[in-house]
């Protein structure tokens, strides 16, 4: 019998789900209230609870992270060109195209795999209005350098913080940097509401504009101030978020243990490079990327396939680069010669499974496949 049949498949992630019975009282309340969406009581409670937990001033909940990104651009009236990273999930750039904005790709830093601040200035043109970096895998960008460039050129900074729930750097939430930060609460994320997302902002006026925009631009029964969209989070998702929040610290600790076991098991394995953290004081262990270098006995894709053959469904986040997809590859900034570091990372990366209930035995099983080649 092959290894694949000895254990159930292991996916790159598995959502953390509290016992179903604990969710029933929330559902009963919804059934009693008959308030299903449009900023109901659970929605309000979750916004407050997340502000407290994350240490941020204002948060606007959304039905998913992509709509939150799209709305973030509208909220700040971003137009023209936005400087961003090709090494991310497609939603990052798609949110720009949906707003008629041209993404301008800059290369990434070889250590952090985040946008390389040294490459930003050369990409700025008279049409540039904003920078949209990604805290890739939850590792904070060089927020100080990015802000300095933005200030010098009068640009807005919108962080795609889809991976960065709970991450702290320099004693504060990384979500407090930039003009806006956008979270994803998708099923595959550290904190999930099945589907969901949020925009973090610094002042009540911006929060009001975002709240209007996510509700069709409606201010009151007879006033519509903007061509808004329907981006609202429902009461079921918000209630689930409140329940999830109770278990988040334990879930993060379990993730940390998985991360530590991988690091110990992979230390010194020739050709396997684990990404270091980028100085965060509180990490969230959202992903466990490894880079498979030429001195490893197998190619990246051969190892990826080997893992699959053994029932381990790791993922190559982020291969292909966003800039290689058909709707982007014609852009001048999408040229491979402009993005050599990102191209290399995309050809080497494998994200190994990491989630709270991944057992030590499962991690060891995965490590044995990698170390045993």
Residues engaged in binding ligand T4K (CB under 6 A): 11-15, 64-66, 88-89, 91-92, 134, 160, 162-163, 184, 186-188, 197, 313, 315, 317
Q: How far is the CB of 225 from ligand T4K (least distance, A)?
A: 25
User: Residue 9 CB, nearest distance to ligand T4K (Å)?
Assistant: 9
Which contiguous run of DSSP H or E holds residue 156? strand 156-160
- Dihedral sign of CA atoms 201, 203, 206, 212 in order: positive
Q: Which is nearer to ligand T4K, 165 or 317 (CB)?
A: 317
Residues in a beta bridge with 156: 130
Give the residue closest to ligand T4K by C-beta.
Answer: 65
Round the CA-based radius of gyration of the chain to a whole number and report it: 21
Give, in order, the Cα–Cα distances in Å from 306 to each of 80, 309, 314, 352.
44, 5, 10, 13
d(CA 36, CA 237): 10
And the tokens for 11? 């996916």
Please name which of 316, 355, 250, 256 lies closest in space to residue 15, comparing C-alpha atoms. Answer: 355
Q: How far is the CB of 268 from ligand T4K (least distance, A)?
A: 29
Min dist. Cβ of residue 222 to ligand T4K (A): 32
291 or 296: CB nearest ligand T4K: 291
Q: Is 337 exposed, middle or buried (0-12, 13-18, 19+ CB in 10 A)?
A: exposed
Which one, 40 or 197, has the nearer CB to ligand T4K?
Answer: 197
CB of residue 215 to ligand T4K, shortest distance in Å: 18
Q: How many helices (H) and strands (E) does the chain have?
A: 11, 16
The minimum distance between CB 318 and ligand T4K, in angstroms, equals 8
Q: Which residues contact 279 (CB under 8 A, 6 or more apart)?
A: 140, 169
Residue 320, Cβ neighbours under 10 Å: how many? 14
Q: Which is closer to ligand T4K, CB of 13 or CB of 212?
A: 13
What is the H or E stretch that residue 66 is in? helix 65-75
Taking the least distance from each CB to ligand T4K, the nearer of 188 and 347 is: 188
Cα–chain-centroid distance for residue 45? 23
In the three-class reduction of DSSP (H, G, I as helix; E, B as strand; rest coil), residue 342 is classed as: helix
Retrieve residue 149's tokens.
């460039």
Nearer to ligand T4K by Cβ, of 71 and 128: the residue is: 71
Residue 361 Cβ, how far from ligand T4K at the closest point, in Å?
19
Kindly state the tokens that stand for 345: 């990372």
**Other residues' Cβ atoms within 10 Å of the Cβ of residue 233:** 29
Q: Whose CA is closest to 319, among 365, 351, 283, 294? A: 351
CB of 195 to ligand T4K, least distance (A): 6
Residue number with CB closer to ligand T4K (11 or 35): 11
Which CB atom, from 94 or from 209, has the smaller least distance to ligand T4K? Answer: 94
Nearest to 176, CA basis, from 58, 77, 60, 70: 58
Work out how close the CB of 160 gets to ligand T4K at its nearest, in angstroms, rounded to a whole number: 5
Question: Kind of pairing, strands 180-184 and 156-160?
Answer: parallel
* Nearer residue to ligand T4K within complex by CB, 116 or 160: 160
Q: How far is the CB of 369 from ligand T4K (least distance, A)?
A: 18
Instruction: Rank residues 9 and 279 by Cβ distance to ligand T4K and give the closer one.
Output: 9
């Amino acid at each position: 019998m092959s290894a694949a049949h000895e254990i159930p498949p292991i996916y790159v992630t598995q959502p953390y789900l509290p016992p179903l019975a604990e969710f029933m009282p929330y559902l009963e309340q919804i059934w009693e209230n008959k308030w299903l969406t449009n900023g109901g009581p659970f929605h309000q409670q979750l916004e407050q609870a997340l502000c407290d937990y994350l240490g941020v001033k204002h948060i606007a909940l959304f039905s998913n992270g992509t709509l939150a990104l799209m709305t973030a651009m509208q909220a700040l009236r971003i137009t023209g060109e936005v400087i961003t990273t090709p090494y991310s999930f497609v939603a990052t750039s798609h949110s720009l195209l949906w707003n008629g904005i041209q993404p301008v790709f800059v290369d990434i830093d070889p250590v952090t795999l985040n946008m390389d601040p040294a490459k930003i200035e050369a990409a700025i043109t008279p049409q540039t209005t904003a920078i949209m970096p990604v805290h890739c895998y939850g590792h904070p960008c060089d927020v100080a350098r990015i802000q300095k460039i933005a200030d010098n050129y009068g640009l807005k900074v919108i962080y795609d913080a889809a991976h960065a729930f709970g991450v702290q750097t320099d004693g504060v939430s990384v979500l407090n940097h930039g003009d806006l930060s956008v979270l994803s609460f998708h099923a595959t994320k550290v904190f999930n509401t099945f589907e969901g997302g949020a925009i973090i902002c610094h002042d009540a006026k911006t929060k009001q504009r975002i709240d209007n925009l996510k509700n069709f631009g409606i201010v009151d029964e007879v006033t519509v101030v903007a061509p808004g969209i329907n981006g609202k989070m429902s009461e079921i998702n918000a209630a689930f978020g409140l329940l999830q929040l109770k278990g988040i610290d334990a879930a993060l600790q379990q993730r940390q243990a998985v991360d530590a076991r991988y690091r110990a098991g992979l230390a010194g394995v020739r050709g396997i490079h684990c990404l270091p953290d980028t100085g965060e004081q509180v990490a969230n262990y959202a992903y466990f990327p490894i880079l498979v270098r030429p001195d490893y006995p197998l190619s990246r894709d051969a190892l990826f396939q080997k893992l699959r053959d053994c029932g381990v469904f790791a993922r190559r986040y982020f291969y292909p680069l966003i800039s290689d997809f058909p709707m982007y590859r014609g852009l001048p900034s999408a040229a491979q010669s402009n993005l050599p570091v990102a191209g290399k990372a995309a050809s080497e990366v494998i994200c190994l499974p990491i989630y709270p209930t991944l057992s030590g035995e499962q991690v060891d099983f995965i490590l044995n496949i990698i170390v045993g080649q």
